[in-house]
């Protein structure tokens, strides 16, 4: 039951936290990515994931890390975004990586367009005391892409083997 609860909550909670952190501070702590990586290995081992499957997941995460850091080097995304994307790639492996990246890209494009439009409007006086909104509204500020990465991840996660392994009948009637 504890393993099922971990599968249900660890990844979604950490990804949601990363999105909220990016929204409010425009940063994603390295700790979040490190906890995601550590949690992956702990759950993979506790779940009895075969070494070949773990290697597949590691390769997917490393591939995303290389591509995401290239995007970071060009200034297209932040470093926290690159690390959280790689951590999500680790959890998804190659089986769900393409779907994740497509969703994250689509939501990222929509988020970018929405923020660009939002930044064209004057900030209402009532919201000018909200530092995070002022930062989000600033034309000099980047895009909190961690939000799109998180939404993409949360769209895919229910389809993964992590969730298929959860025995939901344990939670019915308790």
pLDDT digits (tens, 9 = 90+) for 114-126: 999 999 999 888 8
Q: Is the pLDDT of residue 166 over 70?
A: yes
Break the chain down into helix, strand, coil percent, rounded to 5.
80, 0, 20
**pLDDT confidence bin for 5, thresholds 50/70/90:** confident
Looking at residue 33, its pLDDT comes to 97
The verdict on residue 171 lying in a domain is no
Q: What is the pTM of this model?
A: 0.90
For 93: left if phi > 0, alpha if psi spans -120 to 50, otherwise beta; the answer is left
* Over residues 73-101, mean pLDDT: 96
The verdict on residue 72 lying in a domain is yes
Looking at residue 125, its pLDDT comes to 87
The verdict on residue 141 lying in a domain is yes
pLDDT digits (tens, 9 = 90+) for 127-165: 889 999 999 999 888 999 999 999 999 999 999 988 888
Total structural domains within the chain: 1
The verdict on residue 16 lying in a domain is yes
* Residue 63 to residue 90: CA distance in whole angstroms: 9
Q: Is the pLDDT of residue 35 over 80?
A: yes
pLDDT digits (tens, 9 = 90+) for 37-73: 999 999 999 999 999 999 999 999 999 999 999 999 9
The verdict on residue 130 lying in a domain is yes
Whether 114 and 137 have beta carbons less than 8 Å apart is answered as: no
Domain with 43, as residue range(s), is 2-166
Q: Is the pLDDT of residue 169 over 80?
A: no
The verdict on residue 172 lying in a domain is no
The verdict on residue 151 lying in a domain is yes
* Over residues 24-44, mean pLDDT: 97
Whether 80 and 111 have beta carbons less than 8 Å apart is answered as: no
**pLDDT confidence bin for 171, thresholds 50/70/90:** low
The verdict on residue 173 lying in a domain is no
């Amino acid at each position: 039951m504890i393993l099922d609860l971990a599968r249900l909550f660890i990844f979604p909670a950490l990804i949601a936290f990363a999105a909220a952190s990016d929204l409010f501070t425009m940063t994603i702590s390295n700790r979040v990515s490190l906890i995601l990586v550590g949690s992956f290995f702990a759950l993979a081992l506790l779940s009895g994931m075969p070494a070949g499957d773990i290697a597949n997941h590691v390769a997917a995460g490393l591939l995303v890390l290389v591509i995401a850091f290239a995007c970071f080097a060009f200034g297209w995304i932040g470093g926290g975004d690159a690390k959280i994307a790689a951590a999500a790639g680790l959890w998804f492996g190659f089986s769900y990586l393409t779907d994740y990246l497509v969703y994250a890209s689509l939501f990222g494009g929509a988020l970018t367009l929405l923020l660009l439009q939002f930044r064209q409007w004057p900030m209402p006086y009532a919201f000018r005391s909200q530092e995070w909104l002022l930062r989000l509204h600033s034309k000099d500020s980047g895009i909190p892409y961690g939000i799109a990465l998180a939404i993409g991840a949360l769209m895919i996660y229910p389809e993964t083997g992590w969730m298929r392994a959860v025995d939901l009948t344990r939670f019915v009637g308790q």
